[in-house]
Chains A and B, each alone.
Chain A
Amino acid sequence: MPTTADDHPAGTTNGPGRDPVVEAHGIYKTFPGVVANADVDLRLERGEVHALLGENGAGKSTLASVLTGLYQPDAGEIRLDGRPVVLRSPREALAHGIGMVHQHFKLVKRFTVAENVALGDRTQPILMSAPDVHRSVVELSERYGLPVRPDAVVGDLTVGEQQRVEIVKTLYRGVDVLLLDEPTSVLTPQETEALFDTVRAMAADGKAVVFISHKLHEVLSIADTITVMRDGGIAGNVDAADTSVRELAQLMVGREVMMEAPGGDGQAGEVVLELDDVSVDERSRRGRLDQLSMTVRAGEVVGIAGVSGNGQRPLAEVAAGLIEPDRGRVRVNGRDVTGRPRAARKAGLSYVPEDRIGTGLASSLSVAENLQLTRAHRPLLDRGRWSTDARRLMEEFDIRAPGPSTTTSSLSGGNIQKVLLARELAADPDVIVAASPTRGLDVGAIEFVRQLLAQRREQGCGVLLISEDLDEIRALSDRILVLYEGRIVHECAAEDSDVTELGLAMAGAGS
């Protein structure tokens, strides 16, 4: 029987304690071909920050979705304050005081902050009272340190601001349990600190906060309790006070991992990619470029750091010739390829876009077809050769698929990325533009991808690496550029880089 948010016994009055508010027992959840959760137990207490740690694909998000009613478990039980409940929808979960901030925000872009907050609030009268909602938003944002303007249109806000709206939204609903899914992946180090303050304030207020992450250091610095997931199951449950990065890494992957790519002191050679005074107007809401100039030399990895939405996408697309900039030129190996994607490829450029499915690959096509996607073709196709090519590349790049005619969308995330990389690297490029090439992959695949890039660099290929993952940028790059509002605001050699300095630059507060 669902209850509404306000007749549920609110946790806010109880203060910090040690009574379990949510217990999950023996949760199983399968998707076609995947066991996402297998016999998972979880126990959350009031006033604690409970981290859910695991690699991508370990089952964290599935468990969170089960706890918030988005998915129904195939087996298992959820108890709230000791009573078994069935959460058939996010609506019922919310009514029971469980809310979640998703990795991909669930916000209506065209609505104002207040409208987003009030959405689905059944305690509101039929004729909405805007002032009431505004007041609540202001009150909550002050209480938990979440500055947002109630009348701003969400689509105009930065990613960090949108995250605050998400948190305010769940707080407004009076949740006792708040799940945050990879909340720091879109934040600068400074914004992350501010988020941690908010999380602590919420815990101090008696709420249980579930912090889902794959970042060991972060988890250690914010959590009270840490539950580690691996392959859909629970790998361990430890007190943050009694553990170490080393132990957590062991639990998380089940073996020692070498996260750093084999670096080297490759000497940078000729300029292979040059962007000269490039400007792009804001066409979509994905950022712009403002008179940006930069070069990538043969045998070096140039890392572009920055908070998403600061021009990463136009930068990658301009470099690949996919968008014609309003001004400025792009040269690959000295040849002008501005706005001409096929010319850019011909001159020796390969591009690994951020959106693998839907841009880098046409997922409804076969593996063999996707391996030919960016090749030049004669009017009549030679499909026999495609299939031989595909077999060769599948072996070379260790793509696990039943055969060349397998539909690409049926592959796992790691194998999908391998198809993309196989095609782009098989073209034997002189420059690789790679946007978030490891995002969402499991540890094994991340290692594989990083090694591939490092290996190409050794062979004298120039790499432009665009990523929001600062650790990845620092691990792989020779040179780091920070992109802020379409401009390069900071440049340093990777070995001299300093997180605080990079973070300030990413926030636009650099020197």
Chain B
Amino acid sequence: MNETVLAMTLAAAVAAGTPLALAAIGELITERAGILNLGVEGMMLLGAVTTFLVSLATGSPWIGMAAGALAGAGLSAAHAFLTITLRANQIVSGLALVIFGTGLSTFLGRPVEGMPLPRESRLPRMNIQLLQDLPLLGRVLFQQDVVVYGTWVIAALTAFYLFRTRPGLSLRAVGESPATADVMGLRVNTIRYVHTLVGGLLGGGAGAYLMLARVPAWSQAATTNGIGFIAIALVVFASWRPWRALLGALIFGLALRANFALQAAGVTFIPAEFLAMTPYLLTILVLIALSFSDLRRRAGAPEALGVPYAREER
């Protein structure tokens, strides 16, 4: 593999990991509040199709992206209402989101299935001055589109928010021990709502990005392709830390692109389907490895993850 191929593969991996990172960071924020939202795939799909339709109508990828993010937030609002206010089972509610989101997005997208987005509605590339000329790294990291850079900024902001700010401390407290947060005067449900919605925004945004930069046309089956589920696993993999989520997303991006890289390198004896399985199998392996005791202690899910909070109960 010569350097150009390597650079191309890595650059593609960075781009492929970006929607994964966005969705995973969104889910991470939600889970930090103690809410498990398995509906990422549904939010991404709805975000993608909304982005497609709105970009097509307005001709602006930016308006499309905003609409897609909002659509994801809309779905997550349903999850928030069901699980926070009505205290429904978070697992089942999340899956309901996947089913509903898949159905709705396919329904809405049926008339445009397979239709490509016009060129002007796609995201432009934005090279970073000076840095783009770095050997290898410049090609890999700094000749990307603006969302890629934006995702890095989001990861940095999320890490800063979680560990350096007062609202971040409150958020973590709500996810660890809502009863404590409550007696300390925090609005547990409000905090959970807000961060579930933020998770939805990022999930929808991840779908939007897929649509605008990654896939050539809207297709229910091919657009997200299970990335939403990998994003959920990635949160565990990253032990609820934003930087690790970003790093993990890049690794998985590489796995997602391994297909093309290997074909380019002339490796054809492994069927494409098996290559496509690798991210999933890899994730499962990592999860199992993380379950071994000493690693598990350091990982540590938020204590109250998945548990509804009700104050007045005895």
Chain A in direct contact with chain B (Cβ < 8 angstroms) = yes
Binding site for B on A (CB under 8 A): 31, 68, 70-72, 89-92, 94-95, 100, 102, 106-111, 115-116, 118-122, 124-128, 169
Q: Which residues of B contact A95 (CB under 8 A)?
A: 185
The 8 Å CB contact of A107, one of B170, B177, B185, B186, is B177
Q: Which residues of B contact A70 (CB under 8 A)?
A: 182-183, 311-312
Whether the pair B184, A120 counts as a contact (CB closer than 8 A) is yes
Known: A91-B187, A95-B185, A120-B185. Is A106-B166 also a contact (CB below 8 A)? no
Q: Which residues of A contact B185 (CB under 8 A)?
A: 89-92, 94-95, 120, 122
Q: Is B150 an interface residue (CB 8 A)?
A: no
Whether the pair B314, A109 counts as a contact (CB closer than 8 A) is no
Q: Which residues of B contact A110 (CB under 8 A)?
A: 176, 300, 303
With both beta carbons as reference points, the residue of chain A lying nearest to B302 in the complex is identified as A110
With both beta carbons as reference points, the residue of chain B lying nearest to A94 in the complex is identified as B185
A27–chain B nearest beta-carbon distance, Å: 15
Q: How many residues of B contact A (CB 8 A)?
A: 24
Q: Is B173 an interface residue (CB 8 A)?
A: yes
With both beta carbons as reference points, the residue of chain A lying nearest to B313 in the complex is identified as A31
Whether the pair A68, B183 counts as a contact (CB closer than 8 A) is yes
Main secondary structure of the interface of B (DSSP, over half): helix
Given A70-B183, A106-B184, A126-B166, list of 9 further CB < 8 A pairs? A31-B314, A89-B187, A91-B184, A91-B185, A106-B180, A118-B166, A120-B173, A120-B186, A124-B166
Q: Is B181 an interface residue (CB 8 A)?
A: yes
Q: Which residues of B contact A118 (CB under 8 A)?
A: 166, 169
Whether the pair A108, B176 counts as a contact (CB closer than 8 A) is yes
Q: Is B124 an interface residue (CB 8 A)?
A: no
Whether the pair A106, B186 counts as a contact (CB closer than 8 A) is no
Whether the pair A90, B180 counts as a contact (CB closer than 8 A) is no
Q: Is B118 an interface residue (CB 8 A)?
A: no
Best-surrounded residue of B166, B173, B183 (most CB of chain A within 10 A): B183
The 8 Å CB contact of A126, one of B165, B180, B311, is B165
**Ranked 7 nearest A-B pairs via Cβ:** A91-B185, A120-B184, A106-B180, A90-B183, A120-B185, A106-B183, A108-B176
The 8 Å CB contact of A108, one of B177, B187, B311, B314, is B177
A239–chain B nearest beta-carbon distance, Å: 31
Contact flags (1/0) for B162-198 with A, using CB distance below 8 Å?
Answer: 0011110110110011011111111100000000000
Known: A119-B169, A125-B166. Is A109-B179 also a contact (CB below 8 A)? no
Distance of A396 Cα from B179 Cα, bound (Å): 40
The 8 Å CB contact of B181, one of A119, A122, A125, is A119
Known: A108-B176, A109-B177, A120-B170. Is A128-B164 also a contact (CB below 8 A)? yes
Whether the pair A128, B314 counts as a contact (CB closer than 8 A) is no
B51–chain A nearest beta-carbon distance, Å: 32
Binding site for A on B (CB under 8 A): 164-167, 169-170, 172-173, 176-177, 179-187, 300, 303, 311-312, 314
Whether the pair A108, B182 counts as a contact (CB closer than 8 A) is no
Whether the pair B179, A106 counts as a contact (CB closer than 8 A) is yes
Best-surrounded residue of A68, A71, A106 (most CB of chain B within 10 A): A106
Known: A109-B303, A118-B169, A119-B170. Is A90-B182 also a contact (CB below 8 A)? yes
Whether the pair B165, A119 counts as a contact (CB closer than 8 A) is no
Distance of A111 Cα from B183 Cα, bound (Å): 16
Distance of A120 Cα from B170 Cα, bound (Å): 7
With both beta carbons as reference points, the residue of chain A lying nearest to B168 in the complex is identified as A128
Whether the pair B183, A108 counts as a contact (CB closer than 8 A) is no
Whether the pair B164, A127 counts as a contact (CB closer than 8 A) is yes
Q: Which residues of A contact B187 (CB under 8 A)?
A: 89, 91
In the assembled complex, 8 residue pairs joining A and B whose CB atoms fall closer than 8 Å, in A order, are A91-B186, A107-B177, A109-B303, A110-B176, A119-B180, A120-B173, A120-B184, A122-B185
Distance of A298 Cα from B165 Cα, bound (Å): 61
Q: Which residues of B contact A125 (CB under 8 A)?
A: 166
B89–chain A nearest beta-carbon distance, Å: 15
Best-surrounded residue of B164, B173, B177, B184 (most CB of chain A within 10 A): B184
B31–chain A nearest beta-carbon distance, Å: 15
Whether the pair A127, B165 counts as a contact (CB closer than 8 A) is yes
Q: Which residues of B contact A111 (CB under 8 A)?
A: 169, 172-173, 176
Q: Which residues of B contact A169 (CB under 8 A)?
A: 184
Distance of A164 Cα from B29 Cα, bound (Å): 32
Distance of A89 Cα from B188 Cα, bound (Å): 11
Q: Which residues of B contact A115 (CB under 8 A)?
A: 169
With both beta carbons as reference points, the residue of chain B lying nearest to A117 in the complex is identified as B184
Distance of A106 Cα from B182 Cα, bound (Å): 9
With both beta carbons as reference points, the residue of chain B lying nearest to A107 in the complex is identified as B180
A6–chain B nearest beta-carbon distance, Å: 13
A4–chain B nearest beta-carbon distance, Å: 10
With both beta carbons as reference points, the residue of chain A lying nearest to B176 in the complex is identified as A108
Whether the pair A109, B176 counts as a contact (CB closer than 8 A) is yes
With both beta carbons as reference points, the residue of chain A lying nearest to B187 in the complex is identified as A91
Distance of A110 Cα from B303 Cα, bound (Å): 9
Distance of A102 Cα from B177 Cα, bound (Å): 14
Known: A108-B173, A119-B173. Is A126-B167 also a contact (CB below 8 A)? yes
Q: Which residues of A contact B173 (CB under 8 A)?
A: 108, 111, 119-120
Known: A70-B311, A120-B184. Is A106-B164 also a contact (CB below 8 A)? no
With both beta carbons as reference points, the residue of chain A lying nearest to B300 in the complex is identified as A110
With both beta carbons as reference points, the residue of chain B lying nearest to A95 in the complex is identified as B185
A73–chain B nearest beta-carbon distance, Å: 12
Q: Which residues of B contact A102 (CB under 8 A)?
A: 183
With both beta carbons as reference points, the residue of chain A lying nearest to B184 in the complex is identified as A120
With both beta carbons as reference points, the residue of chain B lying nearest to A4 in the complex is identified as B185
Distance of A106 Cα from B183 Cα, bound (Å): 7
Distance of A320 Cα from B183 Cα, bound (Å): 38
With both beta carbons as reference points, the residue of chain B lying nearest to A125 in the complex is identified as B166
Q: Which residues of A contact B186 (CB under 8 A)?
A: 91, 119-120
B313–chain A nearest beta-carbon distance, Å: 9
Q: Which residues of A contact B169 (CB under 8 A)?
A: 111, 115, 118-119, 128
Q: Which residues of B contact A107 (CB under 8 A)?
A: 177, 180
Distance of A90 Cα from B179 Cα, bound (Å): 10
Q: Which residues of A contact B166 (CB under 8 A)?
A: 118, 121-122, 124-128
Distance of A343 Cα from B98 Cα, bound (Å): 48
Q: Which residues of B contact A126 (CB under 8 A)?
A: 165-167
With both beta carbons as reference points, the residue of chain A lying nearest to B311 in the complex is identified as A70
Distance of A146 Cα from B133 Cα, bound (Å): 60
